[in-house]
Amino acid sequence: MKQSKMFIPTLREVPNDAESKSHQLLLKAGMIKQIASGVYSYLPIAKRVLNKIEAIVREEMEAIDGVEILMPALQPSELWQESGRWPSYGAELMRMTDRHGREFALGPTHEEIITSLVRDELKSYKKLPVTLFQIQNKFRDEKRPRFGLLRGREFIMKDAYSFHATEESLDETYQDMYQAYSNIYNRVGLKFRPVIADSGAIGGSHTHEFMALAEIGEDTIAYTEGSDYAANIEKAEVVYTPNVQYSAETALEKIHTPGVKTAQQLADLLGKRLDEIVKSMIIKVDDRFVMFLIRGHHELNDVKVKSFFSTEVVEMATEAEIEGIMNAKPGSLGPVGVTKIDIYADNAVQDINNLAVGANETDYHYINANAGRDFKVKTYGDFRFILEGEEAADGSGPVKFAEGIEVGQVFKLGTKYSEAMKATFLNEQGKAQPMIMGCYGIGVSRTLSAVIEQHHDDNGIIWPKSITPFDIHVISVNPKQEAQRLLADQLYTDFSKNYQVLYDDRQERAGVKFNDADLIGVPLRIVVGKQAADEIVEVKVRQTGESFEVPVSELATKIETLYQDLA
């Protein structure tokens, strides 16, 4: 492709709202253009990379008997009414009305569509299992789109759905998908870890997320060095090993604590450690309020709370709601005397007694509050985030933290949708049963960004060979020089026979050409400059920075050797 005919609007500077490296480089390398917050056009270089990522995804899906389809983005609300999900999503679900006043959603995912598609067809166990997939734009009205393609409002997803007569059959496909995802991420050059994850509202029980390791990642992974244990920190189970440190129970005492609002301030005032303080929080679960107690040095894990109550609707109560229930402000809340709402506590709260807690009166706290005597805990449980260094749930040692970008997720869905939507099949005994389902997503446009996060230097992107937009970048330094232009033209023609070649034939200053080439990040570069008359060119390897002066007669062999060695 001649760059004089291409459309690669590279930038020297980037808007300062581009916080992540991949977002900056996607803009600087002229790969995307934002048309609205979280909404982008993919320009030629990005489109070529997407095509290659998608080709790898297709290959790996078809290798495990996945069959490609394409479903509509326009989804009738009736199907979401059938599944019961129409009311359960808020502003994130992009809804619209057609000219007849009928309600639609722009598809954020396709469980309802695919289930309605197969339920009239797959009626017998003999026709199962089936795995269908698509690669298609998804719409989710993110509150805060950010980091370019990492969190957009319209993005490309490969979503696959499998239908089974038995759990064993689902397990097989789940394993196949797990392996296929590992193949895909390895092939696109991503360093990744599969992690045990939380299935959230989607339902089902068993799910893994695939995390690309990157500082910018919004997810935190808890993993151990000694094993392949890794869990999304939202899910990482805290094994409760009692570490009871009780002192003789003493009388409850109310103390004046002017201006004390946080656990740290209370600890400082009392001359206690933070872990000797117990924080009390009011949480709204569905439409009721509950109190959670947690040690001062721990944090409440909202995903564990959602999972415990099996609902997505879990929010911190607002100040107004708190005053309404406790007639006290946050910062002085406590369990003593609280009877009209249930009290839950993280397991670690059991390890200490004579607790320091809020007195439900501004500027007053209690010391020596004791469960049983002064308040009742309905349930102790694992409600907190694990801390770095604590023992992993599988006993494989202390967990370490790493940041990750969720680039895929595989779910065992079960019968949540097939029951709700009456997608049944006749089993071997001729009995109608709901199909057992799995669903499997890959963030294709997010994967593109994650690869850039992991493959760049200060000058730009460094594409892995497997998904590079071009294999070779031929640059004629000064096309006005006859010898340079003729040789560069010839090399472009010759190498295009066996490689994908980007030819910078523009009337631009050399510096602009080299800057652009570094940004675009094609792995091999042939520079035709002053020595063209002597039939000598420069070859540069983008990954290592190495450069060689090569006689044209040896160029094909040199390029072949360097190309083979590319990662």
Ligand X SMILES: O=C(C[C@@H]1CCCCN1)Cn1cnc2cc(Cl)c(F)cc2c1=O
Nearest distance from C-beta of residue 64 to ligand X, angstroms: 16
Look up residue 549 and give its amino acid: E
Contact 126, 402 (CB under 8 A): no
Choose between 79 and 502: whose C-beta lies nearer to ligand X: 79
Choose between 159 and 276: whose C-beta lies nearer to ligand X: 159
Non-local CB neighbours of 426 within 8 Å, separated by 6+ positions: 123, 124, 125, 432, 433
Non-local CB neighbours of 561 within 8 Å, separated by 6+ positions: none
Site string for ligand X, 427-456 (x = CB under 6 A): ------------xxx---------------
Long-range pairs for 205-209 at CB < 8 Å and ≥24 separation? 205/412, 205/414, 206/174, 206/411, 206/412, 207/409, 207/410, 207/411, 207/412, 208/178, 208/409, 208/410, 209/406, 209/408, 209/409
Q: Choose from ligand X, Mg ion, none: what does 194 bind? Cβ within 5-8 Å by kind.
A: none
CA dihedral 111, 113, 116, 121 (to 10 degrees): -100
Q: Which of 540, 551, 354, 474 is nearest to 3 (CA)?
A: 474
Establish if 409 lies at the interface with Mg ion (CB under 5 A): yes
Instruction: Give the residue nearest to Mg ion (CB).
Output: 409
Q: Which of 7, 51, 62 is nearest to 156 (CA)?
A: 51
Nearest distance from C-beta of residue 367 to Mg ion, angstroms: 39
The distance in angstroms from the start CA to the end CA of the chain is 23
Nearest distance from C-beta of residue 237 to ligand X, angstroms: 22
d(CA 204, CA 197): 12
Give the CA angle between residues 445, 66, 142 to the nearest 5°.
30
Size of the site for ligand X (CB under 6 A): 13
Choose between 95 and 465: whose C-beta lies nearer to ligand X: 95
Q: Choose from Mg ion, ligand X, none: what does 92 bind? Cβ within 5-8 Å by kind.
A: ligand X
CA distances from 145 to 132, 409, 426, 465 (A): 29, 20, 45, 30
Choose between 234 and 516: whose C-beta lies nearer to ligand X: 234
Nearest distance from C-beta of residue 440 to ligand X, angstroms: 6
Residue 437: exposure state from Cβ atoms within 10 A (0-12, 13-18, ≥19): buried
Nearest distance from C-beta of residue 174 to ligand X, angstroms: 13
Establish if 421 lies at the interface with ligand X (CB under 6 A): no
Binding segment for Mg ion (CB under 5 A), chosen from 8-16, 105-113, 347-355, 401-409, is 401-409
Among 28, 140, 208, 513, binds ligand X (CB under 6 A): 140
Choose between 142 and 275: whose C-beta lies nearer to ligand X: 142
Tell me 277's DSSP state.
Answer: B
Choose between 209 and 516: whose C-beta lies nearer to ligand X: 209
Q: Choose from ligand X, Mg ion, none: what does 425 bind? Cβ within 5-8 Å by kind.
A: none
Instruction: Give the residue nearest to ligand X (CB).
Output: 441
CA distances from 25 to 31, 149, 520 (A): 8, 11, 9
15 prior amide bond cis, ω within 30: no
Alpha helices in 336-443 (DSSP H): 416-420
Choose between 361 and 406: whose C-beta lies nearer to Mg ion: 406
Among 1, 69, 130, 202, binds ligand X (CB under 6 A): 202
Choose between 283 and 442: whose C-beta lies nearer to ligand X: 442
Alpha helices in 193-318 (DSSP H): 263-270, 302-309
Site string for ligand X, 157-176 (x = CB under 6 A): --x-----------------
Choose between 441 and 464: whose C-beta lies nearer to ligand X: 441
Choose between 443 and 523: whose C-beta lies nearer to Mg ion: 443
Nearest distance from C-beta of residue 103 to ligand X, angstroms: 13
- Tokens 């899910």 correspond to 235
* Subset of 74-113 contacting ligand X (CB under 6 A): 89, 92-93, 108-109
CA distances from 430 to 125, 126, 169, 417, 421 (A): 9, 11, 19, 21, 20
d(CA 58, CA 81): 32
Nearest distance from C-beta of residue 52 to ligand X, angstroms: 22
> Burial code of 326-339, b = ≥16 C-beta within 10 A, e = fewer?
bebbbbbbbbbebe
Nearest distance from C-beta of residue 114 to ligand X, angstroms: 9
Q: Choose from Mg ion, ligand X, none: what does 1 bind? Cβ within 5-8 Å by kind.
A: none
Choose between 219 and 471: whose C-beta lies nearer to ligand X: 219
Non-local CB neighbours of 319 within 8 Å, separated by 6+ positions: 329, 330
Site string for ligand X, 257-296 (x = CB under 6 A): ----------------------------------------
Nearest distance from C-beta of residue 218 to Mg ion, angstroms: 8
Q: Choose from Mg ion, ligand X, none: what does 109 bind? Cβ within 5-8 Å by kind.
A: ligand X
Q: Which of 307, 317, 310 is nearest to 232 (CA)?
A: 307
Choose between 131 and 220: whose C-beta lies nearer to Mg ion: 220
Binding segment for Mg ion (CB under 5 A), chosen from 136-144, 405-413, 468-476, 499-507, is 405-413
d(CA 350, CA 321): 28
| Contact residues for Mg ion, defined by CB under 5 A | 409
Give the footprint of ligand X on this chain (CB under 6 A): 89, 92-93, 108-109, 140, 159, 202, 409, 411, 439-441
